[in-house]
Structure 1
Amino acid sequence: MNKTKITQTLMAVMVGSALLSGSALAATESTSSSLGNKIDSSANKVSSFMGDSSVTAKVKAALVDDNAIKSTDISVATEKGVVTLSGFVTSQSQAEAAVAVAQKVEGVKSVSDKLHVRDSKSSSLKGYAGDAATTSEIKAKLLADDIVPSRNIKVETTDGVVQLSGTVTTKAQSDRAESIAKAIEGVKSVKNDLTVKS
């Protein structure tokens, strides 16, 4: 009778150990799976960022290679395969050509055209110097502001027309950046092409 109790006790201990081992293994697999998912998610974010950087570089190269497009005043940004072209061009046909070139680049899902046609009058050297000074002053004011994330905002000025592009996290930041630019002497108008991204 004593042997039977010992055998039952040993069996209970073995079954209990097996159950504990099984649940520990399941917990380890669950943790491992969770960790694997986190690593995959991080890798996807890095891959997406690297892919966007690569697309941006390819689009810039394609614009430079196209002799019909004056690309020095065109900015290129890519997010999740969506390319945004901003800046100034000399004509509407230049803007259309730039969009067409960008659309042909491998990895581009779509193109957002935020290009502006520069006034047809020729820009003088004095005008260019004034625009450069205006751009610098706006950048300095944005940098000194507590609300606006200035590192995410690109400022371009042509003939007193200021274009703001890039991303901000709130509408208030977009409005604040625009009001700072409008307050600068010599600014005729502000084209606010900032994207609000939460």
Structure 2
Amino acid sequence: MPLIKNTLNCIAIAMLASAVVIAEEKPGQKSSAMSDAWLDGKAETVLLLNKNLNSFTIDTKVNNGIVTLTGEVNSDIDKRLAGELVAGIDGVKKINNELMVTDKKSISDTISSEYTDAKIATVVKTRLLLDQQIPGTKIDVSAQGGTITLKGSVKSSAQKDLAQAIAENTEDVKKVVNNLTIVK
């Protein structure tokens, strides 16, 4: 682990040094080029040192203090994180965040999936509680990704099968894992 930290620190120092070399003023060149190169080096370093981002897939360009981020990230959160990190650098006037999200699963998809799981678990549990043929209070119901898991105890294999059938016939249920035990 220390080797990785040392390597990252060396890379960061090299990037900052290269920003200064690139920014050397040439006759007729504006002093903003030096400032832009300095900001670019700082932005690259901030992204490199963040353990949640793959900085090698993110490119930065700076023009008059306006930083443009291009490349690819894995999620909407990573896109926002990169923008926020760079926006926090002194001298950055504006961020153009043009990063492309390669993972198609967004935050709203995750929330929607969790909501659906909670809904179907509740519906299955309610149906089991309302059925007079099954001891619904002794059955735990959980859901993940549309898969319902039944745990607990029933008095017969017929009750076990009925509980599974009720779960399988509930809307949005993709699969049922029946871990019910028979206790006489």
Greater CA radius of gyration, 1 or 2? Answer: 1
TM-score (normalised: structure 2): 0.46
TM-score, reference length from structure 1: 0.43
